[in-house]
Chains A and B, each alone.
Chain A
Amino acid sequence: MSSRHDNVVNVVLSYPELNLVSSLLEVLLEELARFICAASAKVDRLDDDDLALPQKSFELLQSYGYSNLLNTRAEKTTGRHYSEIDDMMDIDSVVASKENVLNLLKFCHLLFFRLDENGSTKSQQDKTIQLIRMDGQKILTFIMLLSTVLNEQVSQEALRIVRQTSSVLIKCSKLPSSKQSLATSVEDETRDFTRIIDSLYWQQICILFDISQSQEAAKHKETAFILWLGWMSLHVHYQPVMMDLLKRESYWAHLQSGLRHGSSERRKVCLYILLRSITIIDQPITNGYVFRKFRQECLES
């Protein structure tokens, strides 16, 4: 299966037209959204279908403009390349199955892995930079939402791609490109991407903590810490957004709770997050965290 995906990635990256690659990614995302929306629409409870998105993630998905995919088939109008890829990847466009979702995710992972590789030519690099600048944010947002499904394979694969996408996004935003507008400097672009990435990560971590309160999604607390760890490992942040987050009670409450109640593996993760967090601080912090959170937490447990 992986060599098949490898071939597809090769085909995609050999397309001369950047817009074509970009619209292919668009189609892939729409396919993924369609599968997930279909799974989400037919369930009353999350564990009825482990590909269904929790309500909060589903609402976010809709707010990103994927809601129309529920009833309509994504149009694949751009010709022979897409049918070629569909055939190569063995995508069954009718059935929303775990295999289909995993196939698409594996393809995305390979694509980003390839984009992250060194040694590509200047023109390929330039193409990559443009591509990521066009679609990176959308891809990252969508794949992050996929990490909230109950299916462990899909959730784990999504987490891997989020990590890969984030690092490619940051790396690409730091490189100058020939088509870069004179009005925007490399620093501006990097700042823009890191601002988006930082906000997205925290938003997604909060969703994961929130849904992990229900019994069927309890394991997503672990997913939240893994996502948090990946975020802190990026080492590139947008300071004003980070300071805003670090001043919140919930940031430290979640961290302290992970340290106190977690397994030894989670404790290690929390200590790393703590270390990274304190190195980011550059302003005084005094928030009203006190012990209310813990008191409430202990009374509830």
Chain B
Amino acid sequence: MFTWNSSKQRETMEFWKKYITLCELVSLDNSLFQVKEATKDFASLFEKATYLKVPSSWLSTMLAVGFYSKANGIARTLCETILELPSHSMGWLQEEIRSSVNTASFFIGMIFVDHTCAKEHGFLTCYQKHFCLSP
């Protein structure tokens, strides 16, 4: 679904501009440092998405772009950045998990994209702790 709330025109426009900027960030080769620094931006984007009722598929698309990026270290850094976010910022994932068959590949990308990351956090812990869900 694509939604556009005209009564929140300005906020919606700002949301999409930020979305495009962050998409560009996770798909560029030389943006490792910026991705590390963008934790707050991701958190605020995710929270705004819930507030504006933006379909969660757009958010998982953005993360998938980063997870499958061939640029060195982006996937791992993005993974670490997302795992640092408070759980309420990731509430949209519940909708995505319920609705999408992309869930499996999404989590494989997210948790197992890097062995060190997977070892450090562990799949079950991450799943339960960060997404408030039973596996």
Residues of chain A at the chain B interface (Cβ within 8 Å) = 246, 251-252, 256, 259-260, 264, 267-268, 271, 274-275, 278-279, 281-291, 294-295, 298-299
**CB pair A271 B23 closer than 8 Å:** yes
Q: How far is the CB of B29 from chain A (nearest CB, A)?
A: 9
Q: Which residues of A contact B55 (CB under 8 A)?
A: 289-290
**CB pair A295 B16 closer than 8 Å:** no
Q: Which residues of A contact B4 (CB under 8 A)?
A: 278, 281, 283-286
Bound-complex Cα distance A278 to B101 (A): 27
**CB pair A275 B1 closer than 8 Å:** no
A-binding segment of B37-45, B57-65, B75-83, B118-126? B57-65
Bound-complex Cα distance A295 to B60 (A): 14
Q: How far is the CB of A202 from chain B (nearest CB, A)?
A: 16
**CB pair B57 A291 closer than 8 Å:** yes
Q: How far is the CB of B109 from chain A (nearest CB, A)?
A: 11
Which applies to chain B's interface (DSSP): helix, strand, loop or mixed?
helix
Q: Which residues of A contact B12 (CB under 8 A)?
A: 278
Bound-complex Cα distance A299 to B104 (A): 13
How many contacting A-B pairs (Cβ < 8 A)?
68
Q: Which residues of B contact A252 (CB under 8 A)?
A: 2
**CB pair A271 B20 closer than 8 Å:** yes
Q: How far is the CB of A272 from chain B (nearest CB, A)?
A: 9
A271-B20, A275-B20, A278-B16 known; A260+B64 contact, CB < 8 A? yes
How many interface residues does chain B have, given as a range?
Answer: 20 to 34
One of B16, B23, B57 near A267 (C-beta < 8 A): B23
One of A268, A278, A288, A298 near B102 (C-beta < 8 A): A298
Q: Which 10 A-B pairs have the closest CB atoms?
A: A285-B4, A252-B2, A291-B99, A289-B1, A284-B6, A298-B101, A278-B16, A295-B101, A260-B61, A291-B100
Query: Which B-chain residue is minimally distant from A283 (CB atoms)?
Result: B6
Bound-complex Cα distance A282 to B4 (A): 9
Query: Which B-chain residue is minimally distant from A274 (CB atoms)?
Result: B20
One of A259, A268, A290 near B61 (C-beta < 8 A): A259
**CB pair B16 A260 closer than 8 Å:** no
Q: Which residues of B contact A294 (CB under 8 A)?
A: 57, 100-102
Q: How far is the CB of B18 from chain A (nearest CB, A)?
A: 12
**CB pair A284 B5 closer than 8 Å:** yes
Bound-complex Cα distance A284 to B6 (A): 5
Q: Does B133 contact A (CB under 8 A)?
A: no
Bound-complex Cα distance A252 to B1 (A): 8
Q: How far is the CB of B100 from chain A (nearest CB, A)?
A: 5
20 A-B pairs with CB atoms under 8 Å apart are A252-B2, A267-B23, A267-B27, A267-B65, A271-B23, A275-B17, A275-B20, A283-B4, A284-B4, A285-B4, A287-B2, A290-B1, A290-B99, A291-B99, A291-B100, A294-B102, A295-B99, A295-B100, A295-B101, A298-B102
Bound-complex Cα distance A78 to B1 (A): 56
Q: How far is the CB of A252 from chain B (nearest CB, A)?
A: 4
